[in-house]
Amino acid sequence: MAARLGVDYAARSAQVAGFHVVIAIDAMTDLDRDTHRHSVERLFPRVGRRRDDRRVLARLDRTR
C-alpha cells in the first residue's frame, strides 16, 4: 500500500478514533523514495509506533 495515501489516511483515522496505531513499515511502499522516507521518518512517528512486519505478526500470534 502506498505510504502517503492509504497508510497515512488509515493511521490518522485510527488515531483520531482512539486506537493505538502500529504501522508495519516494511509492509508498504510508495512510488517516490523520498516521499516514502519522509512518511516513515517524520509523519508516522507522530501517529503511532513503527514496527517491522515480523514484530507485528509475532505480537498478533501471542494474543491468540
Q: Which residues of the chain, if any, have pLDDT below 50?
A: none
Domain ranges of the chain: 3-62
**13-31: per-residue pLDDT in tens?**
999 999 999 999 999 888 8
Q: For residue 19, report the phi and psi dihedrals to the nearest 5 degrees.
A: -80, 150
pLDDT of residue 5: 80
Sequence-distant contacts of 9-14: CB under 8 A, at least 24 apart: 11/44, 11/47, 11/48, 12/47, 14/48
